[in-house]
Every structure is written in C-alpha cells, then in structure tokens.
C-alpha cells in the first residue's frame, strides 16, 4: 500500500498535540536540557527552506535526546517588532499588530506542517505587552544603573527608513535592512553603555563553548588595544591628549593630527591664521558619508593649522598640527601623534605634505615605506630608549610618562556604545518622561507596560521625529517627580531589544510578577545549546550577552553567561547558488515540498543536503533520493518477520547506532542519514528484517522522519508509541565483524585485497599477504626491504630489485 503522507502526518501532529509529548516539564529531579533556536522575524513572506535548516537540526537533536530520557525544552516564539511589518502596515493601511498577527499565523502553520516538536505552551511574542513590559523593565533598570543615557551625537541615519541605525546595522555604508544610503546626522539619542562591559565580554568567552570563528569575530569587533595616552603641550595653552599603541615611537612623532570634529578647533578659532581653510575642510568632511571617507582612504587629505603648534614632550621639539579626516573623533581621543617612519597612514600623509620622517626603530627602510612590523627592531634616535627592543621601550617610556605626569598606560576598545533609539512606531516605547525641570524621569515600574497608543498614521516624519510624537494625548503627561507638565519620550527601542533576553522568558513565559522566577531560571539557565546564524555574531549574540551580564550584576539571573554552547548553521542557497531572497525569486517554500513529498522527506533532505555548518545550494532533483529512501522503509514494513537481532546484521546495527548517535551530537546529520541508508541497503540485500531490527531502525530514524516512523511503529510493532521508546544503545564489542578485508600494497601501491579473521597476528597477516596470487607475482624475484602491517587495515610490502 502506498504511503499516504498527508493523512499520516496530520494524524501524528494532532496526536502529539493531544498527548502533549513535547512539553518541557518543570518537575524536579529530571535531566533538563535547554535547546534554543533563534526565533524568527515573522515577515509577510513566510519561511523558506533556509530557515528550516537550523530548526530541523535542533528538532532532530531534541527528539533524539528525549528518546534518551532527557527533559527537553525546545521553545519557539516571534521576534516581531521591526520595520518590514511597519512598512507593510503603512503601505496597506493595516495596523501593524494585525499584520503581525497574520504573519505569525502563517509562520506557525508552516512550522507545524514540518512537524517540529516545539513546546508551544511557551510561545512568546516580543510585541505582546505582557512580554515587552519586561523589556521596558530591563531598560529602566539600566537607566537606574547609569547604563542607559541620552546623548547628542552624530548617528547613522537611514535616508529611506528615516530612522537611526546602530553601527552594527550599517553594512558597507548602507542600511542593512533596505540598502539605502546612510548619512551622519546630529541627534539626541538613547544610548546603552555596552562599552562598560567590553572587557568582560572578551574575558568571559573563556567560559563558553562557542566556535572559534564566533569568538574571534566578537573579539575583533570589541577591538581591544593597549598603549598609552600622552599629553602634548600646545602654543594655544590647551594640552592635546592623544592615544597611541606605540608609545615606544614617541621620539619619532614629527607632527600631530586632530579630527575635523575635534572641539579644540572652535576653542582655537581666534588663533588659527588660516581659519577659512580649516572651516572649509571641516565642512567638506562632514558632508562625506562614512563610506566615502573610507573609499578615499588611499589619498590622504588635510589642512595644516597655522598659528598653533605643539611640543613633543620627550624631546621638546616644536611640531605642526593638522586636521585630517583620517583621524576619527569616535576613537581614542580624536587626536594622534604622527610617526611617519612607523605608521603607513602617517607615512602617506608625511610624504604628501613633505614632513620629516625620523626613524626610531632600526630594521626597515623608512625612506621607501613605513616600517611598522618592528617586533625585533632596536630603538634609535630615541634618547634614553636607544638600544632597547620595542617591548622594553614601551615599558620604559610608559614608566617615564607616568613619572613625569604627562601620560599613562591606557586600554582602548573599538566597540562603541549602542545607539538605542528608533524614530518609528512599531517598537517598544521607551518608558521615560522628559520634564523641563527634572530632566529624564523614569516611569514608575507599576505603570509598565507602557503600551503603544492607537494611531491613525504610522508614517515617518522627515524631521526625524517618531510617529508617536504626533499623538498629543499620549505625549503630554505630568511629571511623576514634580507634577508639572512633561512629555513622553517618543522614540522606540530597536528590534534587538526584545531578542536580547527572550531566552529567559521561555523559562517562565506566563509570569506576571517578574520576567521569570528564580526557580525557573535556576532550572533552565544557562541555555545548554544555542544554534543561530553567523550574521548575528556581533549583533544579537553580543547584545544579549551584554544584557545578561547586566542582569547578572543586579542579581536577576544567576549565571554570568546566557549560553553554554553555540553552534552555527550554513546558509541554504537557492538552486542558482545565490542567497535565497524574495527579490531574487529563488526561494523554496517548505509548504510546497511538504505538499509534494511530505514533511519527513523535507526534513530528511534538509539534513542530508550537506555539511550542516557549511553553505549549500538547494537541489530539487536530489530530494527524490530521500523520498525513495522513505518509500523503501515504508514497504519494508510489510516484510517484517518475528524475532530478535539476527546474527548477520548485528554488527551493522551496532555500528549504525554508534554512528547515528554520535553524528547527531556532532551536527554531522548528513553522514547520520547516509549511515541509515547504508543499513537499509544491507537489509534490502538480505531481503528480510526482524521485528527487533525494524523497531531499532524506526527509533534511529525517528528524529529525522518522525511521522512515518510513528505510524510504522504503531502498525508493525504496536503496543505503545514510538515517542515513548528508548534510544537504542550499542555495544562497542559488537560493532566489529569477525573477519575483515585487508588491503595489500607493494611499495605503497594497492595490489590486492584479502579477507582475514579479525585481530590476526602480524606474522600470519604478512604470510597470508605474501602468498596471495597477485602479490606473490609482484614480489617475485625482488628483495623484501620492509613489511608493514596496520592491524585489520592493510599490509605494505616494500621491495627492491635483486
């Protein structure tokens, strides 16, 4: 009888729901394991098969671990605030909440069709006021602890979204979401002081099991460097503070450069003789986007400030000061000492402006190019540092600077504080009231959640104000502090807010007293295994580690890190090898595959398609192989005979159990499936399968193809449900056959193969090999120089003429 996947899949999906098989238990004394998958943003387009890859993988892991007796939490939810929903709402004049509701409904039906074993009782939606109440609550705690602050600063402004973006959201000078130009605008923004956690975010990577590439990427993003801050006196009276990682080269500093945004330019306006030129340059660089500024990086530009000079503090030499946009106001102090002999950028600049280049580390040819890699160089032209190594010189000069009170050791980070305001409607309102008298006043916690008002229009404004600013009845309030008239903050939080702590909410999703009870957090945290995309490494993954550390510091959570283990999946590309996207028209809808082949085939193919951690192209032909494989298993159900494990298949079964068990844990799903196929081929060659063997096969296959295996279990094995079974164990001793095929090489070239009893002695193996027909012919008349025997694998006979 043909396998009716439509009926069978529906039957079991309903059965599982009815029985509540996948609910994570909050009982004590169980072996808990928390598996987390990045929750999706429910866009109107629905899921494509790329989304299904990590879900399927973690579902396979979860189902296998449940069969092994663990209490698994595999929750799912919706990261639903964000621009696409809002833009769709604007375009179609539908309330974003309604749009979101529809999208979630569609997403959920897609997920259910694939038969994932999520615990839907723990479903969360970041746009639900009962959820974002706690997002706002965390923000208030950050505000109270000085981690949330408002600052006037240049920010990334997306010209199309009409909204501020975090640095992490700007990719190649354009908006990560919509691809439009990003320009700099001066705006007053809420900021989160992630920089306060920079060092701990680096250090605590030692506590977690993340892939090396994830750790390295985070470390590079945080960008720690150590050096010194040094004060240079100027003729304008103000001391110029600079940061350098090369204090050892201080004697080679022949000029200084300050950023065009440096505040001293205004302060020095009266003294600057060529103020017009300086102003013109400032204007020009302000006009450039970040992208243009880096584009032109080869050709250095700048203007010498006439009328003010500085003094090199170690040798007393008077040196000029320039402004140039190769110095960024946002890093270090916005001012540098330039050492052209040992820094490529300074060298380029010095050549262009004909400035002196003084070698202070011997070893390069500084008239040709900057000598930057001077690990083994020796100090010269550097007074007291002469003759020292670079390392020694660094230490000595810092000691000197500290003694003289003109400088000190300093650690710097590239990481910047997190721009946390968005001028959009569809986000969590920031629970702050702005009072002319009292400043920024936090909303009382009892007033949370501060819900979004109903508005007529969600249109953005060109002035850069949030749509919320137009709702007078919502904006105008009385100050909770002084009782005077005040206004609400009208910016909302960025999309990343809700996802920065969602894993905590799953532990206790219906709690209305706290974000999660201590008991639930202690039961489930930290997340045992978190799988997600590499693209979130310096966004969500870093942000959530930061929030978690803050919550740890204020005693809300009990672990310093949120995730014990992180893995990352490779992308599934479209059939044409390009990234799947609606605009490219190369997406594959899992619903289509489920309709054509069934969910089990889809699941199996997604796991079989290739190495889980590497990207791979979809292939609509290859999927047939998985469908055929399942059909074979279905018809095998008619051939089952009574009895236990048969002798001739015992080793194959034990090996397969071992392989599948290990491969699932190591994310080698493709080879786990291949091993199951190999086993089935063996069974089909033999032509018969016993009840015990079939049962074992069904359990091993269950995580991949849960519907068909449940059905076959009920139909053929009977007496309960497959999901109540135990995962099979293997016996190492039974994994091997009692005879093995041994390769025979002569001078390293394969000549023949012979079958010998397992664990045969070396001398027996060698003599068997020598007397094998082809081998004997090959070594006839030769002198045997050496014989190698690799136990149960091969024999290599090394011969030479004569």
| Residues 307-346, interacting with RNA (CB under 7 A) | 325-328, 331-334, 336, 343, 345
The DSSP 8-state label assigned to residue 357 in this structure reads -
- The Cα 53–Cα 612 span in angstroms is 8
- The Cα 253–Cα 764 span in angstroms is 77
Q: H or E stretch including 271?
A: none
Shortest Å, Cβ 610 to RNA: 3
Shortest Å, Cβ 647 to RNA: 22
Q: Does 287 bind RNA (CB under 7 A)?
A: no
Locate 795 and state its tokens: 């024999």
Shortest Å, Cβ 165 to RNA: 13
Binding segment toward RNA, per CB under 7 A, in 29-37, 306-314, 497-505, 783-791: 783-791
For residue 192, is it left (φ>0), alpha (ψ between -120 and 50) or beta?
Answer: beta
Tokens 């004590």, residue located: 28
Got the DSSP string for 550-572? HHHHTTS-S-S-SBSBEEEPPPE
Q: Which 3 state secondary structure label does DSSP give 110?
A: helix
Binding segment toward RNA, per CB under 7 A, in 187-195, 352-360, 508-516, 614-622: 614-622
- The Cα 55–Cα 760 span in angstroms is 47
Judge if the upstream peptide bond of residue 257 is cis by omega within 30 degrees of 0: no
Cβ distance to RNA smaller for residue 225 or 690: 225
Shortest Å, Cβ 428 to RNA: 25
Q: Does 653 bind RNA (CB under 7 A)?
A: no
Shortest Å, Cβ 604 to RNA: 10
Binding segment toward RNA, per CB under 7 A, in 79-87, 286-294, 361-369, 447-455: 286-294
Radius of gyration, alpha carbons of the chain = 34
Shortest Å, Cβ 713 to RNA: 22
Cβ distance to RNA smaller for residue 6 or 145: 6
Among 32, 184, 646, 747, binds RNA (CB under 7 A): 747
Got the DSSP string for 454-520? P-S-----TTS--GGGG-HHHHEEE-TTT-SEEEE---B--THHHHTSHHHHTTSTT-SSSSS-HHH
Q: Does 671 bind RNA (CB under 7 A)?
A: yes
| Among the listed residues 112, 200, 118, 188, the one whose alpha carbon sits nearest the alpha carbon of residue 155 | 188
Residues of span 357-416 touching RNA by CB under 7 A: 412, 414
Shortest Å, Cβ 538 to RNA: 6
- The Cα 254–Cα 338 span in angstroms is 6
- CA of 176: how far to CAs of 133, 168, 170, 249, in Å? 28, 9, 5, 40
Residues of span 119-178 touching RNA by CB under 7 A: 167, 171
Shortest Å, Cβ 726 to RNA: 26
Q: Which 3 state secondary structure label does DSSP give 756?
A: strand
Locate 409 and state its tokens: 């050791």
Among 396, 684, 736, 760, binds RNA (CB under 7 A): 684
Cβ distance to RNA smaller for residue 551 or 701: 701
- The Cα 233–Cα 577 span in angstroms is 59
Cβ distance to RNA smaller for residue 161 or 228: 228
Q: Does 758 bind RNA (CB under 7 A)?
A: no
Shortest Å, Cβ 338 to RNA: 8
Q: Does 745 bind RNA (CB under 7 A)?
A: yes
Binding segment toward RNA, per CB under 7 A, in 64-72, 107-115, 436-444, 623-631: 623-631
Q: Report the sign of the C-alpha dihedral through residues 573, 576, 577, 580, in that order.
A: negative
Q: Does 737 bind RNA (CB under 7 A)?
A: no
- The Cα 684–Cα 337 span in angstroms is 77
| Among the listed residues 226, 5, 1, the one whose alpha carbon sits nearest the alpha carbon of residue 709 | 5
Cβ distance to RNA smaller for residue 668 or 707: 668
Per-residue buried b or exposed e for 229-262, using 16+ beta carbons within 10 Å of the residue's own CB: bbbbbbebeeebebbbebbbbbbbbbbbbbbbbb
Count other C-beta atoms under 10 Å from residue 718's C-beta.
8
CB-count burial class (<10 Å; 0-12, 13-18, 19+) for 336: buried
Residues of span 411-440 touching RNA by CB under 7 A: 412, 414
Q: Does 293 bind RNA (CB under 7 A)?
A: yes
Using CB under 7 A as the binding criterion, the count of chain residues that bind RNA stands at 82
Q: Does 748 bind RNA (CB under 7 A)?
A: yes
Q: Does 629 bind RNA (CB under 7 A)?
A: yes
Residues of span 169-188 touching RNA by CB under 7 A: 171
Cβ distance to RNA smaller for residue 125 or 343: 343
Residues of span 579-608 touching RNA by CB under 7 A: 608
Shortest Å, Cβ 781 to RNA: 16
Shortest Å, Cβ 40 to RNA: 20
Shortest Å, Cβ 332 to RNA: 3
Q: Which 3 state secondary structure label does DSSP give 191?
A: strand
Shortest Å, Cβ 637 to RNA: 14
Among 670, 735, 736, 770, binds RNA (CB under 7 A): 670
Cβ distance to RNA smaller for residue 315 or 747: 747
The residues, ordered by sequence, that sit 6+ positions from 743 with a Cβ below 8 Å of its Cβ are 750, 752, 753, 793, 794, 795
Contact 560, 546 (CB under 8 A): no
Q: Does 796 bind RNA (CB under 7 A)?
A: yes
Among 380, 409, 434, 674, binds RNA (CB under 7 A): 674
- CA of 652: how far to CAs of 22, 683, 684, 696, 734, in Å? 31, 10, 13, 12, 9
Q: Does 773 bind RNA (CB under 7 A)?
A: no
CB-count burial class (<10 Å; 0-12, 13-18, 19+) for 524: buried
Cβ distance to RNA smaller for residue 341 or 448: 341
Residues of span 42-101 touching RNA by CB under 7 A: none
Locate 260 and state its tokens: 């065009």
Cβ distance to RNA smaller for residue 523 or 655: 655
Q: Does 782 bind RNA (CB under 7 A)?
A: no
- The Cα 699–Cα 622 span in angstroms is 25
Cβ distance to RNA smaller for residue 60 or 742: 742
Shortest Å, Cβ 455 to RNA: 34
Residues of span 442-481 touching RNA by CB under 7 A: none
CB-count burial class (<10 Å; 0-12, 13-18, 19+) for 311: middle
Shortest Å, Cβ 282 to RNA: 14
Among 112, 277, 589, 631, binds RNA (CB under 7 A): 631
Binding segment toward RNA, per CB under 7 A, in 191-199, 382-390, 483-491, 672-680: 672-680
Shortest Å, Cβ 416 to RNA: 8
Residues of span 192-231 touching RNA by CB under 7 A: 212-213, 216-217, 220-221, 223, 225, 227
Q: Does 673 bind RNA (CB under 7 A)?
A: yes
Residues of span 498-537 touching RNA by CB under 7 A: 534
Cβ distance to RNA smaller for residue 482 or 788: 788
Tokens 């050709």, residue located: 299
Shortest Å, Cβ 700 to RNA: 14
Q: Does 611 bind RNA (CB under 7 A)?
A: yes
Binding segment toward RNA, per CB under 7 A, in 237-245, 456-464, 514-522, 585-593: 237-245
Tokens 């946009």, residue located: 325
Shortest Å, Cβ 31 to RNA: 28
User: What beta strand segments (E) does 92-172 contain?
Assistant: 124-125, 148-158, 163-165, 170-171
């Amino acid at each position: 009888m043909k396998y009716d996947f439509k009926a069978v899949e529906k039957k079991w999906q309903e059965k599982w729901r009815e029985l509540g098989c996948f609910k994570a238990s909050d009982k004590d004394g169980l072996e808990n394991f928390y598996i987390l998958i990045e929750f999706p943003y429910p866009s109107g387009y629905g899921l494509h098969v790329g989304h299904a890859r990590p879900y399927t993988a973690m579902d396979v892991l979860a189902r296998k671990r449940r069969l092994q007796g663990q209490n698994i939490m595999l929750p799912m939810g919706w990261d639903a605030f964000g621009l696409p929903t809002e833009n769709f709402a604007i375009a179609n004049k539908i309330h974003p909440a309604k749009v979101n509701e529809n999208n979630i409904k569609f997403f959920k039906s897609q997920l259910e069709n694939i038969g994932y074993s999520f615990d839907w009782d723990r479903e969360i939606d970041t746009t639900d006021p009962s959820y974002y109440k706690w997002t706002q609550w965390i923000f208030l705690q950050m505000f109270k602890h000085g981690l949330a602050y408002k600052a006037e600063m240049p920010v990334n402004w997306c010209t199309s979204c009409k909204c501020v973006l975090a640095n992490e959201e700007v990719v190649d000078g354009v908006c990560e979401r919509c691809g439009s130009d990003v320009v700099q605008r001066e705006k007053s923004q809420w900021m989160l002081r992630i920089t306060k956690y920079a060092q701990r975010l680096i250090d605590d990577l030692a506590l977690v099991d993340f892939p090396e590439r994830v750790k390295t990427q985070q470390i590079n993003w945080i960008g720690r460097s150590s050096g010194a801050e040094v004060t240079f006196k100027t003729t304008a009276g103000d001391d110029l503070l600079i940061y350098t990682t090369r204090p050892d080269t201080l004697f080679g500093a022949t000029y200084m450069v300050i950023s065009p945004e440096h505040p001293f330019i205004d302060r020095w306006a009266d003294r600057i003789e060529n103020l017009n030129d300086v102003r013109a340059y400032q204007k020009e660089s302000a006009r450039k986007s970040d992208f243009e500024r880096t584009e032109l990086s080869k050709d250095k530009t700048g203007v010498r400030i006439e009328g003010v000079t500085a003094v090199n503090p170690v040798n007393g030499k008077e040196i000029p000061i320039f402004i140039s946009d190769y110095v960024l106001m946002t890093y270090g102090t916005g001012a540098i000492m330039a050492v052209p002999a040992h820094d490529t950028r300074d060298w380029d600049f010095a050549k262009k402006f004909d400035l002196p280049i003084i070698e202070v580390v011997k070893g390069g040819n500084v008239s040709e190019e900057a000598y930057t890699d001077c690990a083994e160089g020796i100090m010269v032209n550097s007074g007291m540092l002469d003759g020292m190594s670079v390392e020694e010189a660094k230490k000595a000069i810092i000691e000197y600077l500290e003694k003289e009170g003109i400088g000190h050791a300093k650690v710097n980070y590239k990481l910047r504080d997190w721009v946390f305001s968005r001028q959009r409607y569809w986000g969590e309102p920031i629970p702050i009231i702005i009072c002319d008298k009292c400043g920024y006043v936090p909303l009382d916690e009892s007033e949370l959640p501060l819900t979004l008002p109903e508005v007529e229009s969600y249109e953005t404004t060109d002035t850069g104000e949030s749509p919320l600013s137009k709702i007078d009845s919502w904006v105008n309030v009385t100050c909770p502090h002084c009782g005077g008239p005040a206004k609400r903050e009208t910016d909302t939080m960025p999309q990343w807010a809700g996802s920065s702590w969602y894993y905590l909410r799953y532990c206790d999703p219906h709690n209305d007293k706290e974000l999660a009870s201590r008991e639930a957090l202690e039961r489930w945290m930290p997340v045992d295994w978190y799988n997600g995309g590499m693209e979130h490494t310096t966004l969500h993954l870093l942000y959530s580690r930061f929030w978690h550390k803050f919550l740890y510091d204020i005693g809300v959570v009990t672990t310093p890190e949120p995730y014990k283990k992180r893995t990352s999946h490779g992308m599934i590309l479209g059939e044409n090898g390009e990234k799947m996207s609606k605009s490219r028209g190369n997406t594959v809808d899992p619903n289509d595959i489920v309709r054509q082949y069934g969910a089990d085939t889809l699941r199996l193919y997604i796991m079989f398609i290739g190495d889980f951690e590497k990207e791979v192209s979809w292939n609509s032909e290859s999927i047939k192989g998985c469908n055929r494989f399942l059909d074979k298993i279905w018809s095998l159900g008619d051939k089952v005979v009574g009895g236990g494990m048969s002798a001739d298949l015992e080793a194959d079964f034990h090996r397969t159990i071992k392989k599948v068990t290990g491969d699932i844990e190591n994310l080698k799903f493709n080879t786990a499936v291949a091993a199951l196929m190999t086993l089935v081929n063996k069974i089909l060659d033999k032509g018969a399968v016993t009840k015990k063997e079939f049962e074992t096969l069904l359990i091993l296959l269950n995580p991949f193809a849960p519907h068909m295996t449940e059905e076959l279990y009920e139909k053929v094995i009977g007496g309960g449900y497959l999901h109540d079974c135990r995962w099979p164990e293997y016996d190492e001793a039974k994994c091997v056959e009692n005879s093995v095929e041994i390769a025979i090489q002569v001078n390293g070239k394969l000549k023949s193969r012979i079958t010998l009893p397992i664990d045969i002695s070396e001398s027996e193996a060698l003599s068997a090999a020598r007397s094998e027909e082809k081998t004997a012919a090959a070594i006839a008349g030769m002198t045997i120089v050496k014989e190698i025997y690799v136990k149960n694998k091969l024999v290599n006979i090394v011969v030479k003429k004569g």
